[in-house]
Chain A
């Protein structure tokens, strides 16, 4: 059974803190993605990666960075958390480029106070 896991289900951080969200997939997938999900806005792509040490900006990369040191792990970093980054964060992976299903993790609900 394919699996994408995220390090935390719920996270509460203070404004200005550095925040790490971790995602691990066990399917040997090439591509990994970070989205944020907000009511009325759907899923918006933050960053994605086609290969180890590669990263591409999505639609809303401002205030975020990513790291992919190993194929199975993709980290999202909030360098200095702000209240407008309070959101649900979803990690996903796909086998390769092309018409492949995205497999999502359960999400991390981040609250920045």
Chain B
């Protein structure tokens, strides 16, 4: 059973456009929601993360929107660039700590 459901599976966006990836969860005990970015041939790397007491977090062109009541969170990439082309994973962590559940991943392609 997938603890964190991610969509879409793949996404193609024009350069300069907005990329949006969505995730949903059921377990209200999750207390940390990171997004990881993975380039081909590399391991995932932390991109941005949010705690459920915050509704939005922004770091440069990347924003997480968090809706606690709907149990959903999303990643927005503004002004998408070809260098953003990668696979993105959402995740959720359970207390007492450190067991992560990952979404199934979204392959993003940004067309020049």
Contacts and interface: CB of A to CB of B under 8 A. Distances in A.
Interface of A: 4, 31, 33, 35, 40-45, 48, 50, 58, 90, 92, 94, 96-102, 104-107
Contacts of B104: 40-42
A97 B51 contact: no
A77 to B, nearest CB: 20
A31, A43, A101, A106, most chain B CB atoms within 10 A:
A43
Contacts of B41: 106
Interface residues of B, number: 27
A51 B18 CA distance: 42
A44 B96 CA distance: 19
Given A40-B9, A42-B6, A43-B102, A97 B44 contact: no
B32 interface: yes
Contacts of A106: 41-43
A94, A96, A102, most chain B CB atoms within 10 A:
A102
Contacts of B89: 42-43
Contacts of A102: 34, 36, 44, 46, 100
Contacts of A33: 100
B97 interface: yes
Nearest to B102: A43
Contacts of A43: 44, 89, 102
Given A42-B103, A43-B89, A97 B6 contact: no
Contacts of B56: none
A8 to B, nearest CB: 14
